Amino acid sequence: MSPTQQAAQRLFQAHAGRERFAPLPPELAPRTEDEAYAIQDAFVALRAKERGPVVGHKIALSSAEMRRFVGVERPQAGVIFKSTLRRSPARVRAIDYVHLIVEFEVAVEMAEDLPAADAPFSRARVAEAVGAVMPALEIADDRDADYSRLAQHPLHLIADNTWNEGAVLGTPLVDWRALDLAALIGRASVNGEKVGEGPAAAAMGHPFDATAWIAGHLARRGHGLLRGDVVITGSLITSKAVKAGDRVSFSLGAAAKAELAVT
């Protein structure tokens, strides 16, 4: 196997063995973003055999504060598999993860393709292609990572598909085209208690700017953002660890809500 394939196999085995998140061995560690995404592609191909095709994309480190913390200049992208994309209300088992965390995001669902040949993409162009906007909960597993060490190996998060384990899509905003999306406030609660709130503008200034970033990232790698794809655009609130028995809710605006029960 090539070093890229060996690195992907190592990640695949680490997940299967429920190992704590750790950097890849030096001889397999990515040295550039391109190498990290190549490992991610190979890792995703291994996981797709049991999780199904890629149907969505996510943005990690969407805030400047988080990028400084990890020591990178740009956000990072990951993918979402068909079997891990759920509709609200949803349920997951805590036992299926090493250390389950949730993030609170704006999701967009594409109604038409944004092909690579059309890049670069503006907010206005993205808006023309969006079919629905909704609150979402990202399901992630940090595998008990030592966050204080992430900056020592900032590309390993890319290789590990940015920790994504799925998403829960909430009820769509009925008249999103008439709304100032960036001004909407997302509110999160766990077991009925408020745990945070934040504006949709936290998603790289506007959820469609974040979507444009994903479309541009895919275009640089020769891929398009496709009709039916979902993009979760970055957490508006700091991630929260959850456990069996917890009930998580995230609302966007007055009526749209995503709900998750952890058993």
Given a cut of 80, is residue 66 above it in pLDDT?
no
Predicted pLDDT of residue 83: 98
- With cut-offs at 50, 70 and 90, classify the pLDDT of residue 181: very high
- With cut-offs at 50, 70 and 90, classify the pLDDT of residue 70: confident
Tell me the C-alpha distance between 124 and 163, whole Å: 30
Longest distance between any two alpha carbons in the chain, whole Å:
52
Helix (H, G, I), strand (E, B) or coil at 134: strand
Average pLDDT over residues 194-211: 94
Predicted pLDDT of residue 116: 97
Average pLDDT over residues 136-165: 94
What is the CA angle 175-179-182, rounded to 5? 135
Map out the domains of the chain as residue ranges: 53-262
What is the CA angle 8-12-15, rounded to 5? 140
Does an H or E element contain 248, and which?
strand 247-252
Average pLDDT over residues 237-261: 94
Cβ atoms of 114 and 121 within 8 Å: the answer is yes
What DSSP state is assigned to residue 18?
T
Average pLDDT over residues 43-69: 90
CATH code for the part of the protein at 53-262: 3.90.850.10
Given a cut of 90, is residue 174 above it in pLDDT?
no
Average pLDDT over residues 131-148: 95
Q: What is the DSSP string of 41-72?
A: HHHHHHHHHHH--EEEEEEES-SHHHHHHHT-
Given a cut of 80, is residue 257 above it in pLDDT?
yes
The mean-pLDDT minimum among 11-15, 50-54, 173-177 falls in 173-177
| Among 163, 166, 3, 199, residue whose Cα is nearest residue 70 | 163
Averaged pLDDT of the chain: 95
